[in-house]
Amino acid sequence: MPPTPTARDERTVAVENASYRLAYQVLTFGTLFAVAVRAYAWNQASWDLLALVIVAGAVTVGYQAVHRVLTPQALRLGAAAAVAAAAVALAVGLLR
């Protein structure tokens, strides 16, 4: 007798999406940490890793925009995060 297939309900999809979100955050912040270590401890250029983080974020926003699930609040939050990141990068660059 063949095994019974597992049913996929809303809870399964929600748990899978939460796991993807967590994995994305771990990869993103891990990559940013690697960028910081390469830049400050080893004095190496790390634009390749930083570009991966930026491209991954752009892919996410682009996909959501195509499927029309972006909210104005999400766009404002993303813009505020980009401005804050640029300000921190400018401050670090000036202090170094």
Which residue has 């399964």 as its token pair?
12
Cβ atoms within 10 Å, residue 46:
17
Positive or negative, the Cα torsion across 35, 40, 88, 96? Answer: negative
Instruction: Identify the pLDDT of residue 33.
Output: 92
**Are the CB atoms for 60 and 69 separated by under 8 Å?**
no
What tens digit of pLDDT does each residue of 30-44 get?
Answer: 998 999 899 889 988
Digit-coded pLDDT (tens) for 62-89: 898 898 888 889 889 989 999 998 999 8
Q: Is residue 1 part of a domain?
A: no
Does 5 map to a domain?
no
* Residue 6 domain-assigned (yes or no): no
Count of domains in the chain? 1
End-to-end CA distance of the chain: 68
pLDDT band at residue 6, thresholds of 50, 70 and 90?
low
For 7-30, what is each residue's pLDDT tens digit? 778 888 889 899 999 999 999 999
Q: Domain residues for 65?
A: 11-95
